[in-house]
Amino acid sequence: MTTVSLIVPCYNATKTLRLCLEAVLAQTRLPDEIVVVDDASTDGSAELAEELGCRVVRIPVNRGVSAARNTGADATTGDVIFYLDSDVALRPDAVANALAILDGDPDVGCVHGVYDTEPLIDDGPAEWYRILHAVHWRRRHLGEVNSVVFALAAIRRDVLLGAGRFDESLRDCEDVEYSSRLAVRSRIVLTDTVVGRHDDGSDLLPILGEQWRRALPLIPLALATNRRGAAKPEHANRPTGILACALALACLPLGLLSPALLAVPAALVAGFVLADVELVRFVHGRRGPAFTAYFMGVHLAVHVVLVTGLAVGSLRVLPGLRKRYA
């Protein structure tokens, strides 16, 4: 029988950890071991996990999620490792469904899931933006994929060991970098049968800050992926929308020549919205027209940060800075 080690990386997660672990303990297929890797929390997260009967592995100094995942793999023995973020509460059949996919096809080395359309804890409109965007783009790519979101993902231990350890120098985009190594070794499946409710960011400025941090390494990582011959990862955002946003920013100075020329970036912003009509319809169907307008405003702001971060991050591929991403 396939054994499962469920690993929860954790840092100051008392807001959601109980909900996360209670959902794990309610699985129709209980993991053979549940390990919470506490990354030097200061809020009692480790004690909460122990109170619920989980084994806790403590990291004395905060080192990030990559180190926590590596530590969890080292501390467990299951044939399959199920990585679960501490702010995700699984549906009761999530572990069983992940195992069914892995057991049903030995060539699939990793399976990961999607978020529910409702947040774990409702913290307002910015969080709804994040949740609905994440749900939509992942469901758009259901099936065999080239990348993994390790927030709720099951991977065979031998596949994990073959692809190597998570890069502990990365605190953002670590899943992107790891996927580039994993995809050349094993088939990866994204499924909507593995579902969890996620508690996401609820304040706009931190959300934009996270987008900035994640945008910076994307160009260097993409070039490194191409050098390794790995397949390209799936896009969270439409490339045409990113291009429209970039062109709109580039055309803004036209307004200095004549206010009438601001029609050019305005038209490009309209093109940005039309680049993903399915997303607009998806959001409208769940939250109505007023929220859809808010959603697209935030979506545009996120893209402005994304485009700017990509531009700044591209400087990292200049001579003398390439070695780190080789």
Spatial separation of the C-alpha atoms in residues 78 and 76, rounded to whole Å: 6
All structural domains of the chain, each given as residue ranges with its CATH number in brackets, are 4-200 (3.90.550.10)
Query: pLDDT by residue for the chain (326 residues), tens digit each?
Result: 899 999 999 999 999 999 999 999 999 999 999 999 999 999 999 999 999 999 999 999 999 999 999 999 999 999 999 999 999 999 999 999 999 999 999 999 999 999 999 999 999 999 999 999 999 999 999 999 999 999 999 999 999 999 999 999 888 788 989 998 999 999 999 999 999 999 998 899 999 999 999 898 887 777 766 655 566 788 899 999 999 999 999 999 999 999 999 999 999 999 999 999 999 999 999 999 999 999 999 999 999 999 999 999 888 776 544 444 44
Q: What is the pLDDT of residue 318?
A: 66
Q: Given this model, what pLDDT does residue 227 score?
A: 58
pLDDT of residue 230: 61
pTM: 0.90
**Is 310 within 8 Å of 211 (Cβ atoms)?**
no
